[in-house]
A and B are shown apart, each in its own frame.
Chain A
Amino acid sequence: MDFLSFLITGLGLGSVYAIIALGYTMVYGIAKMLNFAHGDVIMIGAYVAFFAVGKFNMPSLVAVLFSVLVCTLLGVLIERLAYKPLRDASTLSVLITAIGVSYFLQNAAQILWGSDTKIFPTMFDFGNISLFNGQLQISLLTLITILVCIVIMVVLTLFINKTKTGKAMRACSEDKATAQLMGINVDTTISITFAIGSGLAAIASVLLCSTYPAVNPTLGSMPGIKAFTAAVFGGIGSIPGAFIGGLLLGVLETLAKAYISSQMSDAIVFLVLIIVLLIKPTGLLGKKISEKV
């Protein structure tokens, strides 16, 4: 019974990682950049939700929407100001810029809202459900987190495969120059990708903070790194890959914490990652790119 309970907690955490990883993987797929500032967008999302509920007494759902809106705008703004001028620059230059943006957001948050940890208000209280005569207690929030993740995943897959914008995104990720020749507005497409990724980050932030109710300026770093790992785990650039990678990572982390050692859980997760990459060098669902000579 314990195992089942850990498994569900792990899936809940994994769903949050998966939602964040989707943002990483979409941006990577289309802009070929590691957006290290993604974790800090999560942090901003958490603060926005915190103030929306705590200060302005917004209803929970409205607060979530507000947070999504702010993060979406922030994502587009970051892309336009910092990344767009570097479209033709080397990947490393873009990486450093992303790190600069990450520092900027963290320090801006620290100046604006202080470096102390704030307690995130309870936005959703669904209680628990008992199964097997009360032997298994499952938080309904965890189930909803998993459900939200699945819905996002399905909608996103449909969006990318069925809509015109989705097609444009796939075209851009294949070949930007050709896409442009086919009449696709590459700049807008990239902006839309950032908007979706950042919006998802806001949803992830609310789910994350509902489970671990603490908000501080470095809140996003660790989930950011973990989600990045999850994206690589599943094969970066692949949307189902990010989903599976996120879930696996969450389960692995929770089980390692429960059965081996809570201090060593990170090390175990990263060790498994190295082993997986040794066996499947491009991640679980990553495409094998054959080099042309």
Chain B
Amino acid sequence: MAKLKTAFLGKNRNCHLCLGLVIIAYIVIEVLMYTGSLKSLFINLLVPVTSYIIVALALNLVVGISGELSLGHAGFMSIGAFTGVIVSNVMATMISNDILRLVISIIVGAIVAAFFGFLISIPVLKLQGDYLAIVTLAFGQIIKSLINNTFLGFDSNGFHFSFITNTVTLGTGGKMLINGPIGATATDRISTFTVGVILLIITILIIFHFINSKYGRSVMATRDDRIAAQSVGINVVKTKTIAFVLSAGIAGAAGVLYGLNFSTLVPARFDFNQSILILVYVVLGGLGNMFGTIISTFILVLLPELLRFLADYRMLIYAIVLIVIMIVTNNPTINQFIKKIFRRKKAEGELNND
């Protein structure tokens, strides 16, 4: 039995735990939906929750594994979401299969977001600590402003584009894709929960494959001691760039999934607060802990909905919960108590194995 356990969990124990969690959760939710015991409010939240889990995992790659604070991940989501809206609208006449259209949109969105991730990583990764954080914050703000002032239309003659003021005139059958601060309207809602879960599983596989690869180990070595890593010949900037670009791409893919789940989407949706919210999921889940991130994101996205009975007080309670969790998890006495319990369990387990 113990052998089977190591064989199954082995080196990739965490990866398998995450996959197991996601698959079990998916089956449970599908069964509950089939039996009709889920509220529609909850069903509507399924795709956003999945998107947020994917972004949070991507952010944890940067914050937890690479050790750099990013305050602009909503920017990558935004790029992904609006790229997705454009791609899916343009292809609407060419490809009638919604799933195929969604998959292509996700791939294009991820590539575009990864490209922007690469652009921003050039200044970002030269800096350290809080200076790096502020550049990512600035990047998020710039993206929001840019999309807020973009007017993009599409008709039989191709794309029509204007900036800051709307001068786009469209032929018959034309459609405004991005309408400045109003954003995208009348988008086909082609995102599905199943595709989201598959994307989540792919994300988990990619992230763990990265962590266990040569580059992943280099990134973690750099995080723990930059100078020591450099001294053994690790190209610090290159490894961090790879992690950052990968994270941006995944965030972009999640953005597409999110964007194509709503018929209207405003650029202001992806503001500084959104970036911060994703960071909260990551920190509460545990830095570098993907399993914890999945659970904390799931709970924290649902928490405001579960607290809805508190009406006006729900965000107040949410804030208090946040503060209390942080204080409690950082309390040395409580931490020691928890460690003691776990150590006892572990010791018992080892005894049984003998």
Contacts and interface: CB of A to CB of B under 8 A. Distances in A.
The yes or no verdict on A and B being binding partners is yes
Interface in B130-186: 130-131, 133-135, 137-139, 141-142, 145-146, 148-149, 164
Contacts of B287: 92
Nearest to A278: B123
B262 interface: no
Contact of A97 (B134, B316, B326): B326
B135 A277 contact: yes
B142 A271 contact: yes
A176 B318 CA distance: 33
A267 interface: yes
Given A92-B63, A92-B69, A100 B319 contact: yes
B327 A85 contact: yes
A104 B319 contact: yes
Interface in B270-289: 272-273, 276, 279-280, 283-284, 287
Contact of B227 (A34, A229, A291): A291
Contact of A281 (B127, B279, B327): B127
A111 B319 CA distance: 14
Nearest to A273: B138
Q: Helix, strand, loop or mixed for chain A's interface?
A: helix
- Which 4 A-B residue pairs are closest in the complex by CB-CB distance? A100-B322, A270-B138, A267-B145, A103-B319
Given A34-B133, A229-B134, 5 more contacts: A86-B326, A100-B322, A274-B139, A291-B227, A293-B227
Interface of A: 28, 34, 36, 82, 85-86, 88-90, 92-97, 99-104, 106-108, 110-111, 221, 225, 228-229, 232, 236, 261, 263-264, 266-267, 270-271, 273-274, 277-278, 281-283, 291, 293
A228 B134 contact: yes
Contact of A99 (B141, B145, B322): B322
A165 to B, nearest CB: 26
B138 A85 contact: no
Contacts of B315: 103, 106-107
Contacts of A229: 134, 137-138
A34 B138 contact: no
Given A92-B287, A273-B134, A278-B123, A263 B323 contact: no
A96 B327 contact: no
Contacts of A107: 315-316, 319
Given A263-B145, A278-B126, A104 B134 contact: no
B164 A264 contact: yes
A104 B323 CA distance: 9
Interface in B302-346: 312-313, 315-316, 318-320, 322-323, 326-327, 329-332
B322 A97 contact: yes
B142 A111 contact: no
12 contacts: A88-B332, A89-B330, A96-B326, A97-B322, A100-B323, A111-B313, A228-B134, A264-B145, A270-B142, A277-B134, A278-B126, A281-B128
A261 B148 CA distance: 13
B286 to A, nearest CB: 11
B128 to A, nearest CB: 8
Contacts of B128: 281
A282 B170 CA distance: 48
B202 to A, nearest CB: 27
